[in-house]
Amino acid sequence: MTDKKVRVRFAPSPTGGLHLGGVRTVLFNYLFARQHGGDFVLRIEDTDQSRYVEGAEQYILDCLQWCGITPDESPVAGGKYAPYRQSERKTIYRQYAEKLVMEGYAYYAFDTPEELDKNRKEIPNFQYGHAYRDTLRNSLNLPQHEVDQLLDAGTPHVIRIKMPVDEQVSFTDMIRGQVSFDTNQVDDKVLLKADGMPTYHLAVVVDDYLMKITHAFRGEEWLPSAPVHLLLWKYLGWYDDMPQWAHLPLILKPDGHGKLSKRDGARLGFPVFAMNWFDAKTGELTPGFRELGFLPQAFVNLLAMLGWNDGTEQEIFTMDELVQKFSIDRVSKAGAKFDFEKAKWYNAEWIKRSEAESLKPEVIAVLADKGVNAKDDQYLLTVIDLIKDRVTLLPDFYQQSVYFFEQPKEYDLAAVKPKWTDAKTDFFKEFMTKINSLTNYEAVELENTFKAFMEEKGFKMGDVMLPFRIMLVGGKFGPHVFDIAALLGKEETIKRIEGALVAFTA
């Protein structure tokens, strides 16, 4: 398979929001394809029409776009193996299902849903497989003429794979090594449903073959399906073209017990979807990382590190660096615990490292959402550079920067009033005069003037520095106070001292 062009695919079902585990699967596929000069294919597996959700396909496309992952072939981009929606490929699959029946690897099953429900109720752990299939309504035990009559009459039926008895099925997983299955433990999966739609099992094999997929990365929850897929590749005569498989480890709950779910995120207060997902059927809004205030670069970076590392201490990677350094043999077999505090750390690091210009659109949007109009372009860039080290999530830019655009509406009076004195009032009144007389109104000059005057009046740093900060920003936060004052300008600084003195002495 090394001489073939690498082709990988992500094949989601449009049934809801995109879980971060799904995005990580996309990412690993994408990195592998880019590293090997291959193709990344997006294929929509919408064969289960009962679970199809309007808007879910566009949502998947939007999530990939936000993450900076562009498929080479997709329902939108097209490609020479189109169509890329399985519902539009419906006519392709029956011929392969019928071929399997003709060659004895599959069979028609005419059991009604009611009959199957009755069996499930009456037989403990009932499975439609080798133990019971010879007693059920299917072409394995009905006379041929009766099977023909049922088919001619258009009787609803499915096509099931006939799993062999007492066989071991094995393959080499790129992460897990040799994996084996006992065919007796696997039921006869439906391949073609009564509505003519294929199930995932048939469609994924046929489409991977026809689209010349060379490597298939998917979550480890698909491992139990592997023996069915292996046998289909073999029975359809395509075994030599079967992709190399890698079953990725689960993303686990923070305590390490079980797969991380949407409910866990809701319970613990963090998102598990890439972007906000609104389910029109239920009216439920599930929050996403984007809307919480994550940069896409940080989201991609943290996902890459869930179950993979490059063998060094490096934790911050650009997409280009990930493409260069990613290797499937560095992916862990064990599940990766999701740590939201660590996720936020990645975001803070990426905000710190980002140029102010690249953050500007996000900051403008955050401020506009709160009714703050940041007009002056250069002023805003300076503000961003001054405060970005203090920001964890993008909405934090409001609290960390609003005082640069408007006077504080309230002050942390509890931190000031208990120790306020007339002498401090006089200090700041005189300091305003000193500010006004400065010809070089810059942070260093301002700080030197403040400290000299403070010593002259017999104050310690703690006596007047904190009140000065609260005068300017309203609270005990923000960057170096003299940087703030310098950026606000002489007039605005004096105006804020005057306004705060009224509040402090009331």
SS3 476: coil
Q: Which residue out of 99, 234, 259, 262 is catalytically annotated?
A: 262
- For residue 2, which amino acid is it? T
| Residues 393/292, Cβ–Cβ less than 8 Å | yes
DSSP 196-217: SPBPHHHHHHHHHHHTT--EEE
Distances, alpha carbon 498 to alpha carbons 203, 420, 446, 487, in Å: 73, 15, 17, 18
Written as six digits, the tokens of 386 are 């001054």
Cα 155–156–160 angle (5° rounding)? 120
User: SS3 of 288, please?
Assistant: strand
**Nearest of 294, 275, 296, 295 to residue 56 by alpha carbon:** 275
262 as an active site residue: the answer is: yes
Which among 420, 426, 407 has a CA at the least distance from the CA of 473?
Answer: 407
Q: Is the peptide bond before 143 cis (omega within 30 degrees of 0)?
A: no
- Tell me whether residue 333 is annotated as binding: no
For residue 153, what is the DSSP state?
A: T
331 neighbors 308 (Cβ within 8 angstroms): yes
**Among 174, 224, 461, which residue's Cα sits nearest to residue 332?**
174
The first and second tokens of residue 163, run together, are: 């799993």
Q: For residue 322, which phi and psi values (nearest 5 degrees)? A: -65, -40
Single-letter amino acid code for the residue at 106: A
Question: For strand 251-252 and strand 177-182, is the pairing parallel, antiparallel, or unpaired?
Answer: unpaired
Cα(220)–Cα(229) distance, integer angstroms: 14
Return the residue matching tokens 């099925």: 169
Annotation: binding site: 262
The residues annotated with a catalytic role in the active site are 262
Annotation: binding site for ATP: 262
